[in-house]
């Protein structure tokens, strides 16, 4: 099997789908790996390192003509047009949000596998790219927030006076939120956390955060670790609870996502107006519509005296580590789905069934079918 790795072309993207270490492992397993020259440059993996690991450096068209093309982001229409009929693609797809992409993959008879659809089960943990990237994103969100603040996080007692600790309010205690809690606590902040899933309370408290309990949270439904159904009444109660907390916060980090839907607005313009001048919001959900009403994607703006960071791709700001983790995720999935001689698909097996989106010219993924009504 010939594996192709191409340079990412999406704006603000610096990651690469395989690293020299992962190439070395795949070559040892008998796979042939071809890498577009310069594919790893922005994450500081050189062509020489890829070559030494056993990869062949090739032009872009040749890499796109491989048996399976590995990417971070979904292939573009132009990239799919250069892939050979019946080839395979593995990348983040978010297929349920992009009908035209699904149709293009079907028309080219591409077997597409989505890294964002890896089931959250114990034996798939090493393939879970959503978690590996969110973990880094939560860490970076705190550092970005600290960078924009004009205050420090830790309690500091000096001869000139005592500086009280900074206060951080985090929405969402998933992988990103939990890493944000741990990072903010290590920096000395007082951390409070709101999440629609009551089962996250113990995890929050184990990291030193204070969990804000919302009345009625026990009625929230979750799927695969994501909130799948949140009532308007619940959101109203949540907003009331955090109205006072947000006034006290120096840094607010929002991470709330709802599977298959636009991110909920948790921080309204009226709430921003009540925040302290000089405080900061880092909206980690900005690419899915944003949790803050005033967020602007790809921009850092100041509104009502509050700095609002709308960085859409936080893992890319840590491109070296993000690429290392993603390469482990994607190569592990590839080796689960195939051998050096080709794919061996059991469409009833849980992981395969979870990640296979299009195959044989058809959309085969049940969740995506349901969302796209196909």
The catalytic residues are 120, 125, 128, 131, 226
What DSSP assignment string belongs to 77-110? Answer: HHHHHHSPTT-EEEE---GGG-HHHHHHHHHTT-
- CA 84 – CA 78 distance, rounded (Å): 12
Extended strands (E) in 195-305: 210-212, 221-223, 226-229, 251-254, 280-283, 300-303
Query: How is residue 368 written in tokens?
Result: 């995506």
Backbone angles phi, psi at 32, to 5 degrees: -100, 130
Task: Of 328, 354, 343, give the one whose Cα is nearest residue 1.
Answer: 343
- CA 127 – CA 159 distance, rounded (Å): 51
Please name the residues in contact with 293: beta carbons below 8 A apart, sequence gap of 6 or more: 265, 267, 268, 269, 272
């Amino acid at each position: 099997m010939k594996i192709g790795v191409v340079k990412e072309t999406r704006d603000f993207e610096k990651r690469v789908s395989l690293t020299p270490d992962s190439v070395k492992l795949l070559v040892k397993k008998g796979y042939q790996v071809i890498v577009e020259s310069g594919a790893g440059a922005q994450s500081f993996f050189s062509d020489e390192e890829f070559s030494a690991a056993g990869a062949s450096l090739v032009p872009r068209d040749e890499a796109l003509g491989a048996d399976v093309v590995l990417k971070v982001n979904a292939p573009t229409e132009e990239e799919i047009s250069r892939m050979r009929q019946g080839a395979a693609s593995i990348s983040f797809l978010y297929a349920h949000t992009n009908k035209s992409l699904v149709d293009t993959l079907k028309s080219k008879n591409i077997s597409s596998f989505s890294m964002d659809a890896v089931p959250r089960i114990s034996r798939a943990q090493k393939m879970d790219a959503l978690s590996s990237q969110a973990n880094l994103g939560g860490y970076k969100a705190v550092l970005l927030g600290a960078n924009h603040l004009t205050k420090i996080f830790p309690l500091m007692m000096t001869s000139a006076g005592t500086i009280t600790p900074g206060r951080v309010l985090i929405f969402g205690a998933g992988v990103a939120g939990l890493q944000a809690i741990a990072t903010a606590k290590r920096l000395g902040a007082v951390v409070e956390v709101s999440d629609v899933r009551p089962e996250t309370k113990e995890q929050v408290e184990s990291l030193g955060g204070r969990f804000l309990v919302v009345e009625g949270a026990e009625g929230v439904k979750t799927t695969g670790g994501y909130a799948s159904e949140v009532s308007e009444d619940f959101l109203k109660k949540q907003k009331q609870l955090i109205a006072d907390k947000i006034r006290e916060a120096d840094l607010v980090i929002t991470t709330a996502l709802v599977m298959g839907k636009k991110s909920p607005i948790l921080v309204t313009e009226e709430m921003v107006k009540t925040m302290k001048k000089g405080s900061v919001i880092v909206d980690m959900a900005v690419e899915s519509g944003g949790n803050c009403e005033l967020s602007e994607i790809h921009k850092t703006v100041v509104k009502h005296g509050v700095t609002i960071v709308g960085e859409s791709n936080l893992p890319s700001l840590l491109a070296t580590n993000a690429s290392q983790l993603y390469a482990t995720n994607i190569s592990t999935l590839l080796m689960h789905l195939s051998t050096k001689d080709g794919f061996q698909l059991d469409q009833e097996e849980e992981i395969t069934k979870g990640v296979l989106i299009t195959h044989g010219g058809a959309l085969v993924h049940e969740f995506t079918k349901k969302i796209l009504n196909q």
